[in-house]
Structure formats: structure tokens, C-alpha cells
Structure 1
Amino acid sequence: MSVTARIGIGFMKGLAHVPLPVLRGFGYVLGRILHSAAVPRRRVVDKNLAICFPGKPPEQRKRISVETFIYVAQSWLDRAWLWHAPREVVERRTKMVGAPGDIDEVLHGTTPLILFAPHFYGLDAAATGLTMRSPRESTTIYTTQRDPMIDEWVRVGRARFGNVKPLNRVDGIKPIVAALRNGGLLYLLPDMDFGRDQSVFVPFFGVPVATVPSLSRFSRLGRAKVIPILSRVTKEGYEIEVLPEWKDFPTDDAVADTALMNERLAGYIEAMPSQYYWVHRRFKTRPEGAPSLY
């Protein structure tokens, strides 16, 4: 058991009762420091932004780069109150927006449903805000953390409210599909690069990128609808936007479905580019013969 992990978790528990403006101010300063000090990661962010927004002036991309580090720090520190503050605090700081019928379908529907939750920095807040308001069985897929104590802290935090069943990636697809066919809800984050073997290459901002076709696959196998969920950091906490169901999805063509997912995701990102997870090497895996972009 790591002493560092114990201290870190204790520190986060201590932050749970700090006023939000103070915590966000701390995150702002920490984010600015990270942008200056974490040079390798800043280069990844800057490269991602140059690939996806070649038409934006360099000074505008730099502003987005600085802001994304601030959101990294703020959203991480916010896990203190998301996972440890009283329920009423979490509920007050997570606001749901969207058409009432769409929100009701997510929270109280009985048909299989996949929430397409792209990697915006508020994704943990959105998951918590949804599950604390819904009695539905909810499944989420996670990757094991290297430190067992941190892994336990994350799993417990994400399953704090509601009927949440976290599944590890190594558990396979059977429990996911079974939960969906039973009328469950899957909170899915498929916009990542998990290597060539698990991916298809489809455009993302016009550049071929390795993308897992799990949204199309799970939707088809689980006979599930797809509703996008966008999480947005705000001064008051988080806004959880429920968008309308995707019609005519999935098709019999998983590659075409995944390309459509990336196309729509790019549109969501355009509306709030600083809040997307640019710290990930999204273009790490390249098509055969293509040079590295990093």
C-alpha cells in the first residue's frame, strides 16, 4: 500500500469541504504551473491542437493549450467533493440540461441505452450527476490503476451513488451486453486509442485515427439506443447536457458508424475546444507506413 497514495487520498478528502471558488482558484494556479512544467505533455497537447485546428492562429491554440491544463487540474481537484462531499452539495453543483423527454429517458427509461460520453474533463462529474438521480442499473468500463489503493478509491468514488456496476476491460463484453439487454444503461467513452488490434482507422478532424468501434458494436449487440452526454465545467460546478437520441444508429457497417461518431464528436469539440482531453496522444497509433505525429 503506497504511502504517497494514502497521503494523496487524505488530501483530497480534506479538500471536499473547501468552497468551490477557492478550489477552482487553486486549480487555476496548478494548471498554469503544469502547463509550464509538464513539457512533454504540453508538447502532446500542442501537437494535437495543431493537427485538429491548423486554421487557428498560433496564439489562439496557445490559449486553448493553457486553458486545457487548467481544466485538467480543476476537474481532478473537483473529485474531492464529487466523491466525498455531502450528497446535496454534489447535486447542487451538477446541473442537467436538455429536452425533458431526453433527460427522462436517460434517468427513468426501461429500454437498453448507451450514453456516448466523450472525453471532456467533466466526464466523472457527469457520470456521478446522472447515477445519483437515476434508479437504473448503470455499467461503466474502467482501466485498473497501477496503485491498488488508488484503484479502490477511484472505483468506489465512481460507484458512490446509484446502482453502478464498474467493469474492468479484461472482463470482456458478455457482462456489458447482458446488462444492456436487461434494460440497463452503459456509460461509454470510446474516443480513445487502444492500439491497432482493437481499432479501426477513421477520420478525426480529417486525419485517420485509431478508434475502437465499441459504440457501434455494443449498440448492435445490446439492441440499445445511443444518446450523447456532454459534460461542461462551469463556474457553479458542471453542466450535464443530454442530447437527442441518434437515429438510424447503429448500421451494419461498424466502420461507417465509428466514422460518424468521430465526425459528430468533432462538432461537439468545436463548441468547447479547451475542455477536451488533449493530454491524450490521440494520434499515437498510425496507419501502416505512416510516420509518427509525435
Structure 2
Amino acid sequence: MDIKGRLAVAVLRLVGRLPLRWSRRLGWLTGHIAVLGRGESLRVTRINLQLCYPTMEAEARERLARHSVVQTALTGFEVAGIWQQPWSRSEDQIVRVRNQQLLTERTDRGQGLLVLMPHIGNWELFGMYLSTLGPSTALYAPPKVAALDPLIRSGRQMNGAHMVPTSIRGVRALLKALKAGEMVMVLPDQEPDSGGDFAPFFGQPALTMTLAHNLLQRTGCRCVFGFAKRLRDGFELVLLPAEQSIYAAEQKVSLAAMNRGVEACIASAPDQYQWEYKRFRRGPRGRTHRYRKG
């Protein structure tokens, strides 16, 4: 293990021992330092918000950008504890679950359930909660810092979730789980390395994964959206129904519906979305250069 890896593990283990209120205070401080430093996260967030909210007043958009950078820092410090502490402690931080019946309805019908989890609030907590409800499967790509892999993997598997690789073998495992009436978790709002097509996202053409569409078409499973919204005293887990058109056989119709579902989730907590991700790096004609400096 290299020095960088040792340091990263040591910091995460130390932060993971803190109560939620203290980890959030550290995240708040780190986020504000990032804002004051005017670093890459704030720069990219500003670009994305300009693209997605062009009619928003400049002052309000700047305020949203700064809040978003702080909220992302909060997520980073929170997950250190969620990966390491007993689930009972994390569960106590869940204040309520909104629209939980969307999960029980599919159980009653014996169908598989595809849960689309945008990068809003604390998606790690949300995924671990879902794992307590029954057999669940999710794709997993090892982190760039290899030393963090055991810590992250053990945290995500704490409640029995099955982690599979981001490969053909992993996709087969997702199909098998859904056909068996189980739950599959997918993060729908990042550019795919392969298997993507363009669909509108906040009015902008965004390279969008086709994985969810293919899973829906091949298994006949049901689909919902969900995320963990940060509250002052914990978290609210939110489930939202998917549009009927997400089940359309026509891929572009389904992808557009999926992106609208992500937008609906973001509307509940726009400052808690991970806006610093370069979602519009590629356009229908190739690289867009929207994030080029200068």
C-alpha cells in the first residue's frame, strides 16, 4: 500500500468514528474551503448550472453552486461513518421513508425491481437501506485508490448486497437477479463508457446509459427512482415512481423518460445533486469542450 493509500484509509477510519453532527461539521468546513479556493468542483458546477438553469437569476445560480459544493463535501464525510459503523447506527439516522409503498407493491406482485439512484444527497445510505429489504445486486467498480477497495466493498456489502463487476458478467448477474424477482440498483446519471445514446437532460443532449432500458425490456421488471435527502437531523429516504414511458420499447423514448425522472429527483433537493460531474463532456458530434479552462 502506497503512502497516499495509507493516508486515505487512515483519514476515512478516523472520520468514520465521529458522530454524524461532527462529520458534517468537518464536511461543511471542507466544502467552504473549496468554495473560497474557487477550485475545479466550483468551476464545473457553475458550468453545469448555467447549462441546466439558463433562466435562473445569476445570483441565485451562484448561491446554488456554492451550496452544492458544500453539500458534496458533506456526503464525502458522512459516508466514512456509514461504511464503517454498525447498520443500526445508520438506520437511526433515517427520519422517514417517503412513498415506501413503491417498494412493497412490487414485492406483492413478485416482480423484480430496478431502483434508479441519482447522485443526490447520500446515495450510499440509500443503497444500504435497500439491501435490508431483500436480495439486491449492484454494479461495482473498484476505486482509483486501491487501498480503499476493502473498506468501500465491506461497507456496501454490510447488509448483504451483491456487488458485481461493471462488465458483461456483471450485467448478466443483474438480469438473473431481476428475473428471480430480486432488486437491482443502478446509478443512472453518469456518462457510460459504452452502451449509451443521447437523450435530453435539462434540455441539453446528454450521453445516457442504455443499461436500464435493456434491463427493463429483457426482464419485464418494475422501476422506481430513489435517493437519500439530507435533513438537519438525519435523512429522508425518497422514492418516486417512474413515468410509464420509461418502459417503452423505443430506446430514445425510454432514455428521455429516465432523464426526466432524474430531473424530478433533483427538483426535491437541487443543492444536494452532484453538479461537479462533467455530464456534458460529449455531444452528438463528439467532445463538446464545455469544460475547457480559459
- TM-score when normalising by structure 2: 0.91
Would you say the 8 A contact 1:107–1:130 is kept in 2?
Answer: no
Secondary structure in 1 matching 2:78: helix
Distance in 1, Cα, partners of 2:289 & 2:7: 38
CA displacement at 1:109 relative to structure 2: 7.0
Partners of 1:154 and 1:38 lie apart in 2 by 29
Distance 1:129 1:238 in 2: 12
Q: Distance in 2 between matches of 1:108 and 1:41?
A: 43
Structure 1 counterpart of 2:120, one-letter code: F
> 1:20-73: CA deviations, max 9, x gaps?
222211111100111233622321111000000111111111111111111111
- Choose which of 159, 179, 182 in structure 2 pairs with 1:181: 179
Whole-Å separation in 2 of the counterparts to 1:290 and 1:145? 25
Count residues with an aligned counterpart. Answer: 290
Indicate the residue corresponding to 2:22 in structure 1. 22
Shift in Å, 1:160? 1.1
The two structures, once aligned, show a CA RMSD in angstroms of: 2.1
User: In the alignment, is residue 268 of structure 1 matched against residue 265 of structure 2?
Assistant: yes
Give the Cα separation in 1 of the matches to 2:184 and 2:191: 20
The equivalent of 1:222 in structure 2 is 219
* Residue 133 of structure 2 is aligned to residue 142 of structure 1: no
Q: Distance in 2 between matches of 1:174 and 1:32?
A: 43
Match of 2:151 in 1: 153
Percent identity between the two aligned chains: 23
Q: Which runs of 5+ in 2 are unaligned?
A: none
CA distance change for structure 1 residues 35 and 235 in 2, over 3 Å: closer, same or farther?
Answer: same
Matched, 1:258 2:293: no
Tell me the residue number matched to 1:11. Answer: 11
Secondary structure of 1:217's aligned partner: helix
Equivalent residue, structure 2, for 1:97: 97
The alpha-carbon distance between structure 1 residues 11 and 232, as it changes in their structure 2 partners (threshold 3 A), is same
SS in 2 for 1:194: coil
SS at match of 2:253: helix
2:162 to 161, 165, 168: 165
TM-score, length of structure 1 as denominator length: 0.91
Q: Is the 8 A contact 1:122 1:232 kept in 2?
A: yes
SS across alignment from 1:18: coil
Residues 172/87 of structure 1: CA separation in 2 closer, same or farther (3 Å cut) = closer
Aligned to 1:233: 230
Distance 1:18 1:2, change over 3 A: same
1:45 has 2:45 as partner: yes
Whether 2:118 is the aligned partner of 1:118: answer: yes
Unaligned 5+ runs, structure 1: none
* Alpha-carbon distance, 1:276 to partner: 0.9
Q: SS at the partner of 2:282?
A: coil
Q: What is the letter of the counterpart of residue 194 of structure 1? A: P
